[in-house]
Amino acid sequence: MTALQDFSQELSDMGFVLGADFLHFKHACGTEVRYIPLESEYEVKKETVFQVIVHEDIWLNHKNAVINRLTALTGNTKRIHGRECSVIRIDSPTARNFLDLYHTGGFVNAYFKYGLFFRNELVAVGLFGKCKTFKPENEQAFKSAELTRYASKTGIRIAGGMDKIMSLFCREYRVYHIMTYADKEWTDGKSYVKLGFDKIGDTPPLQFRVNKQTGQRIYAENKASLKTDDWVHKSNLGNMKLVKKIPGINWVL
């Protein structure tokens, strides 16, 4: 079975049907997905509705995480509330095992790692970078940190889950300002706006190469010694940069 056939079967099992062509899929909830084969490029154009973009190498290497994110987007989830959960600091192996399974970007090294537990079960993980202090001209100094990863377990939607993790982190370390990047191939940013984030800009598309045999992805700065015949040059749509100021308490230093 080819990667595309496998992808098509999995999406069919989730309730998707073929859309405009054999690489385009639609769900009754309104979610649309476009699959990008290994040796094809996605043509950036203004769509009438937002489409999730799934590259073949991401499907090959993070299949479970792709299914997890699409399951969440279709609404086929059990809803629990953040107030029913507890937030606990977790170690790197625990965070890695969870995020490699449920986040399409996998695990990244992070200074702070938190787990959200529901009835002693780990259901979500949030990672934050090291805090930085900023002192704008003629303003008071404040602490800022980057939310580098957040993912929840397949089939579970945690209302207020991300907020609960961020709130505890910000209280513990007096952080006033949270910044994060959102992959424009997976979100139009509306879900972040609902959580109180403001969009402040976009990053340019990232250039990368994918190995034709293994599906390994290497970003542009590491491609100098690669044989062109073995690798396909590709790019993504870049990220949105978003920030959120934590309300309720004055965290200025």
- pTM of the predicted model as reported, rounded to 2 decimal places: 0.90
Distance of alpha carbon 1 from alpha carbon 64, whole angstroms: 17
Which whole number is the average pLDDT over 62-67?
A: 96
pLDDT in tens, 6-30: 999 999 999 999 988 889 999 999 9
**CATH 3.40.630.30 occupies which residues in the chain?**
78-202+239-245
Helix (H) or strand (E) holding 94: helix 92-102
Task: Say yes or no to pLDDT of 198 above 90.
Answer: yes
Tokens 């009438």 -> residue:
48
Q: Angle 92-102/63-74 helices, nearest 10 degrees?
A: 70
Residue 141's pLDDT band (cuts 50, 70, 90)? confident
Residue 140 is predicted with a pLDDT of: 81
Residue 156 β-bridge partners: 78
Mapped onto helix, strand or coil, the DSSP state of residue 183 is strand
Beta strands in 51-164 (DSSP E): 51-55, 78-81, 86-89, 112-118, 121-128, 132-134, 142-152, 156-159
pLDDT digits (tens, 9 = 90+) for 230-239: 888 888 999 9
Instruction: Give me the pLDDT at residue 222, please.
Output: 53
- Determine the CATH number of domain 78-202+239-245: 3.40.630.30
Q: With bands split at pLDDT 50, 70 and 90, how would you rate the model's confidence at 175?
A: very high
3-state DSSP helix/strand/coil % of the chain, to nearest 5: 25, 35, 40
* 124: Cβ contacts below 8 Å, ≥ 6 apart: 85, 115, 116, 150, 151, 152, 153, 156, 158, 161, 162, 165
